[in-house]
């Protein structure tokens, strides 16, 4: 396996270099109900709790890491690597570096019901995440709203019931204000 070095660069505006390439990876990687409207990103990039990092390899956009800061944890909302860069351990390297810096991390995945979602859960488990047993309904970011069940995973250990409820409150209070729910 070749050694892949990366750099995380925060975006401050949708006009920043690499934004369009990163958004193409984003559109390929996530189902539409889990994607924000573009206007939401324009507004969220000014929020001190939100950070949109581009993953750069050899001076080119190779992926994205979008996350939120809560006093108790980081919410890893979106992590994706360009299809051309997959299989090089880049996603694991980025995730491990992020977790070392963040400490406590919470994320959502689709229920492990098909090959892709089972592999995704395994990816996070291999990187130190655990699956939590709490029912979690993702509110969907776009119209028509299609709420759907997701699985909460956390690093480095499980969430308590109050932590899981606090996470859900955080998403509704801080994240949804940049979605179609705010209109």
Cα distance between residue 25 and residue 19, in whole Å: 10
Residue 96 has pLDDT above 50, yes or no: yes
In 3-state terms the chain splits into helix, strand, coil percentages (rounded to 5) of 40, 25, 35
pLDDT band at 35 (very low <50, low <70, confident <90, very high): confident
Residue 183 has pLDDT above 70, yes or no: no
| Average pLDDT score over residue span 112-117 | 94
Lowest mean pLDDT among 10-14, 100-104, 134-138: 134-138
For residue 1, what pLDDT is reported? 46
Residue 41 has pLDDT above 60, yes or no: yes
Q: What is the dotted CATH code of the domain comprising 7-182?
A: 3.40.630.30
Domain spans, the chain: 7-182
Which residues pair with residue 67 across a beta bridge? 51, 76
SS3 label, residue 147:
coil
For residue 181, what pLDDT is reported? 65
Q: What is the pLDDT of residues 50-92, one digit of tens each?
A: 999 999 999 999 999 999 999 999 999 999 999 999 889 999 9
Q: What are phi and psi of 33, to 5 degrees?
A: -65, -20
């Amino acid at each position: 396996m070749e050694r892949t070095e990366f750099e995380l660069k925060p975006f401050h505006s949708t006009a920043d270099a690499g934004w369009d390439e990163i958004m193409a990876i984003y559109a390929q990687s996530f189902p539409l109900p889990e994607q924000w409207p573009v206007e939401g990103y324009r507004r969220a990039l000014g929020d001190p709790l939100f950070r949109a990092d581009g993953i750069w390899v050899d001076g080119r956009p190779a992926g994205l890491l979008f996350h939120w800061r809560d006093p108790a944890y980081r919410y890893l909302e979106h992590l994706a690597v360009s299809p051309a860069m997959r299989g090089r351990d880049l996603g694991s390297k980025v995730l491990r570096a992020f977790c070392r810096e963040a400490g406590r991390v919470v994320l959502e995945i689709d229920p492990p019901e098909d090959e892709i979602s089972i592999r995704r859960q395994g990816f996070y488990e291999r990187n130190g995440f655990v699956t939590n047993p709490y029912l979690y309904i993702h509110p969907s970011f776009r119209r028509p709203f299609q709420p759907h069940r997701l699985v909460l995973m956390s690093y480095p250990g499980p969430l308590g019931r109050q932590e899981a409820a606090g996470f859900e409150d955080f998403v509704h209070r801080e994240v949804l204000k940049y979605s179609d729910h705010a209109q």
